[in-house]
Amino acid sequence: MQLTPDSPPRGGPEGEQVMERQEGVSRVEAFSDGVLAIIITIMVLELKTPAAEGLEALWHLWPVFLAYVLSYAYVAIYWVNHHRLFGHARVITGRLLWSNMALLFTLSLVPFATAYLGEHHFSRAATLLYLAVMLLASIAYAPLQREIARTGTAGKAARTYHAATLRKGLAAILVYAAGLPLSFVSPWLGIGCAALVAVFWILPWGPLDRLFLCDDA
């Protein structure tokens, strides 16, 4: 049994089970939203105002602010995609819960990696740490999506969504992985890889997304 926004659940055990499933999905999503909100709050609290006045003192903070902007974009991307992904969820399984907790754990490391990156002015070590955290988060997202694809909504729209985003996620993992050795050449090459991943997730649906589709989607 599936519910539409205009059709309330029927009475009896089946209707109660559907309501329980919907409440379970909503609870997991609400918890995840809270964790992501806390992550953003921690990151913005790391933006310390300079003791000195003037634009020159503010300019010296550009590495901290740039790291914050990049990480804010990433957290926003994960929130948007997490919200879209859970729009396809219909039942809460143990694998889904633990996959979601693993993803949130990796994202909880973002404030630390962001602060380290900004304070050390995008050094090689800081860039490697930052890329490693982003790579872990990207890897952790894949099992969650596979579980929702397995237990969630069916149909062509769902298959198309999962086909495109799973392949885009794999591409992101490869770009992050490429950024690690490139950071030994120049840390900015590693940051460029991270920025590239952010760009193709932020861009609206277009030809780039269709590259990740397969014929049977």
User: Is 95 within a domain?
Assistant: yes
User: Is 10 within a domain?
Assistant: no
Instruction: Count the neighbouring beta carbons within 10 Å of the beta carbon of residue 53.
Output: 8
User: Is 9 within a domain?
Assistant: no
pLDDT digits (tens, 9 = 90+) for 34-60: 999 999 999 998 887 776 776 776 778
User: Is 28 within a domain?
Assistant: yes
Domain count, the chain: 1
User: Is 216 within a domain?
Assistant: no
CB of 194 closer than 8 Å to CB of 126: no
User: Is 8 within a domain?
Assistant: no
Terminus-to-terminus CA distance in the chain, angstroms?
24
Q: What are the two backbone dihedrals, phi and then psi, of residue 43, each rounded to the nearest 5 degrees?
A: -65, -45
pTM above 0.85, yes or no: no
Beta strands in the chain (DSSP E): none
CB of 57 closer than 8 Å to CB of 50: yes
pLDDT surpassing 50 at residue 217: no
pLDDT surpassing 50 at residue 100: yes
User: Is 85 within a domain?
Assistant: yes
Q: Find, among 120, 103, 125, 117, the residue nearest to 43 by Cα.
A: 117
pLDDT at 188 (0 to 100): 95
For residue 187, what are the domain limits? Answer: 18-46+56-210
User: Is 112 within a domain?
Assistant: yes
Please state, in angstroms and as integers, the Cα–Cα distance from residue 6 to each residue in 2, 3, 9, 14, following that order: 11, 8, 10, 18
